Structure 1
Amino acid sequence: MSHPLRHTVNCSLLFTELPLLERPEAARRAGFSAVEFWWPFVEAVPPDRQVDAFVTAIADAGVQLTGLNFVAGDMPGGDRGLVSWPKRSSEFRDNVDVTVGIGERLGCQGFNALYGNRDDASSEREQDDLAVENLALAAGVAGRIGATVLVEPVSGADRYPLRTAADALGVIDRVQAAYDVPNLGLLADLYHLAVNGDDVDQVIADHTDRVAHVQIADAPGRNEPGTGTLPLDRQLSALAANGYTGWVGLEYKPSTSTDESFGWLPFDRR
């Protein structure tokens, strides 16, 4: 790997052989200094003791929390966010303060707001208008701690409307045209973009300045780098050359054990 970027371990897909609260320490033992998570609780507003236990696990491991998803519904069941889902919008709004509160305690600077699938009960326009409101609300709260709300194109979910970088940037543009919130950025998951047929090299060439977080997995398969055909090292080098200085989230499914799946990355590069 020739790029200078730092890696952070997505502990919602990696170290799943361990209980959730043991994963930050496992990441540190594997040589990493940072972790990220999808929403790690069942409810949008979990009990304080659960929040405290999560914060403590990360603090005690001595790793940096680089990213946290807002509540996104039942991800294994196919949900992909609540931002544009009228029936569950209030859950998202209740969750914003909790998520940003965790981020404030741990110095987290990026919060991923998954947009949500299309919903037969509402028009696309109704959903998109709601998403603009909810993203502006989230950005306002995140802005109080100097953090950024991330908008992510996703693959593998047929009813998720943001598939390309242009789709996500269009949403961000709408929010910023309607509300004075500068702190929204593209979450460029190079795996999702590639699988959806986006021109990843062109996205990097044109929009690195709008990329607030990067995630990677190889394709096909969504396993660790080197198991597929994506030119991840070259693309990460291009991002760095274009001025991206943020984290690279390892958001892949290990093809073997989690520890073995880090074989592509020398220990001193973690």
Structure 2
Amino acid sequence: MGFADQRFTVNLSILFTDLPLLARPAAAAAAGFSEVELWWPWADSATPGPAALDGLRGAIEDAGVRLTGLNFYAGRLPGPDRGALSVPGEESDRFRANIGVAAGFAASLGCTALNALYGNRIAGVDPAEQDALALENLALAARAADRIGAILLIEALSRTESPRYPLVSAPAAVEVVDRVNEATGLGNARFLMDLYHLSMNGEDLPAVIERYATRTGHVQIADNPGRGAPGTGSLPLADLLDRLGKAGYEGRVGLEYTPGDRPSAEAFDWLPRAAR
């Protein structure tokens, strides 16, 4: 697999953020990419109005790129406030209200992967109560994803960056994947393998790949330390992608790294244009 043989998708919520949201799809296309992904673009609204949705849809279509991945509403990202679906009260209500909106927007652009961030532990709330709420909401999300022919992604994050987020290992995330699939009977919940987050948690990445490659619906990369482009840290990302391919993974790899102190358009020199 390596770099040259992979299908890359650019995350427009962490790259090209020096540009307005509606200008980012065209910038990704100008950099040579044909596929993009997004965190939920409206952190302050789980249910933005038609004008906002139509504007972003038009920008993606006009740029000639394809939206391949979209997060459900997850609060304000980036930052420590991760996820909404396991948070009782208003945040969970917002997540539920967002499910149909996000799925409809994804379907309108042919997007086939929806990512649901679990949600932080809340002081004074029994973790078992949060887990029960999470399973209920994830099942709703999985059914909505299934109706549009999409998979539901469940991700482990870095405990350093998200200390109150409960899914901070590959086994913990895959356990939730299994619970959702058992609850719905659909089998469309999959693991999102973010190699940067897993490396931050000290996991044995070759072992994770060997064990979970066939359970994985999407992969995201950034180098470590620094969360920069491949080659700015010490992770052997080309080798890890080779291992993924040999282990049976055939999906996309999302570029979810920061450009550093340069414009995003200059942060792809590690990847020949012909490979984008």
Question: 3-state SS of the aligned residue for 1:27?
Answer: helix
Write the letter of the residue equivalent to 1:261: A
Task: State whether residues 72 and 116 of structure 2, in contact with CA within 8 Å, keep that contact through their aligned partners in structure 1.
Answer: yes
Structure 1 residue 76: Cα displacement: 4.1
Shift of 1:78: 2.3
Q: CA offsets per residue over residues 34-75 of structure 1, 9 Å max, x none? A: 000100013000011100111111111110101111011122
1:155-184 alpha-carbon deviations (Å, 9 max, x no partner): 111000101110100111122223313110
- 2:149 maps to 1:142: no
Mapped to 2, the partners of 1:104 and 1:116 lie a distance apart of: 24
Q: Which letter maps to 1:135?
A: L
CA separation in 2, counterparts of 1:179 and 1:139? 8
Give SS of 1:186's match: strand
Aligned to 1:24: 25
Stretches of structure 1 lacking an aligned partner (at least 5 in a row): none
Q: Supply the distance in 1 between the matched residues of 2:241 and 2:78 (Cα, whole angstroms).
A: 29
Q: Note if 1:265 corresponds to 2:271.
A: yes
Equivalent position of 1:36 in the other structure = 37
1:251 to 2:256 alignment: yes
Give unpaired runs (5+ residues) of structure 2.
Answer: none
The separation in 1 between residues aligned to 2:79 and 2:203, in whole angstroms, is 26
Q: For 1:152-171, what aligned pairs fall within 5 Å after superposition? A: 152-155=155-158, 156-171=161-176
**More displaced, 174-183 or 223-232?**
174-183
Q: How does 1:180-199 map to 2 (within 5 A)?
A: 180-199=185-204
Cα distance in 1, alignment partners of residues 191 and 238 from structure 2: 20
Q: Distance in 1 between matches of 2:74 and 2:36?
A: 19
Cα separation, 1, equivalents of 2:54 and 2:265? 27
* 2:125 pairs with 1:122: yes
Displacement of 1:233 after TM fit?
0.5
Q: TM-score, normalized by length of structure 2? A: 0.95
Matched, 1:210 2:212: no
Deviations 1:176-217 (A, max 9, x none): 223313110001000000111111111111111110000000
Q: Give, as a single letter, the amino acid of the residue that structure 1 aligns with 2:134.
A: A
> Counterpart in 1 of 2:88?
86
In the TM superposition, residue 126 of structure 1 has moved relative to its aligned partner by 0.3
Q: Distance in 1 between matches of 2:271 and 2:78?
A: 28
Matched-pair contact (CA < 8 Å) for 2:222–2:229: yes
- Alpha carbons 1:152, 1:188 under 8 Å: kept: yes
Q: Which residue in the other structure is 1:113 paired with?
A: 116
Give percent identity, aligned residues only.
Answer: 53
SS of aligned partner of 1:259: helix
**Greater alpha carbon shift after TM alignment, 120-129 vs 20-29:** 120-129
Taking the aligned partners of 1:165 and 1:77, their CA distance within structure 2 comes to 21
One-letter amino acid of the counterpart of residue 217, structure 1: A
Q: Which moved more, 1:79-88 or 1:135-144?
A: 79-88
Letter of the 1:175 counterpart: V
Q: State the 1:261 CA deviation.
A: 1.0
Give the drift of 1:2.
Answer: 4.7
Q: Please identify runs of 4+ aligned residues in structure 1 that moved more than 3 A.
A: none
Residues 183 and 251 of structure 1, relative CA distance in 2, 3 Å threshold = same
Say yes or no: does 1:63 pair with 2:68: no
Aligned partner of 1:164: which letter?
Answer: S
TM-score normalised to the size of structure 1?
A: 0.97
| Distance of 2:226 and 2:152 partners within structure 1 | 28
Aligned residue pairs, count: 270
User: Which whole-Å deviations, capped at 9, do the CAs of 1:3-55 have from their partners, x for residues lacking one?
Assistant: 52100100001011110110000000000000001000130000111001111
CA shift for structure 1 position 77: 5.0
Task: State the partner residue of 1:101.
Answer: 104
